[in-house]
Structure 1
């Protein structure tokens, strides 16, 4: 019975813990698996790593200032249906808070 109670407490605490810390994604693996958008793209991996690293840096600096519910929602949402992405987490949080960058500056990943 104690194990069940412990498991329930852990599950209830997980969303809070998830929202408190910036998620850890394997940028190199994710970028290596990313498809090329055009056949002529030669620096796709390097550009991806640069974009993901910059997004992670921005998230690290601002993570505590974001609404915990938005952090949780966006961190979970970006891991559904594909490789997790710091660019996607950052864009999600910006959109949820009303501070989204113009569509022309977001990376084309099949998202509108």
Structure 2
């Protein structure tokens, strides 16, 4: 079976030659630019011949526009260290405003 056939068959509940498999990780040294993050993901996918790819952007990327600030300190998990958060106390939730995503 091809990767695609295996994954689609498994999703349908059909027999497969083996379970689809993939692992994922963060790439903190590459995730500040889309191009370098894409290259890191593709290289990881090809090196291990996974059946599918889960894209893992920088942890916390969803909060950047609200003021979440992070940096990277090398660690085993490849996650960021948060240096400033927009929510420091319960009242801060009321100050968050909808973002214009257009």
**Length-normalised TM-score, structure 2:** 0.26
Higher relative helix content: 1
Q: Which structure: larger Rg?
A: 2
Higher relative strand content: 2
Structure with more relative contact order (C-alpha pairs < 8 Å, separation 6 or more): 1
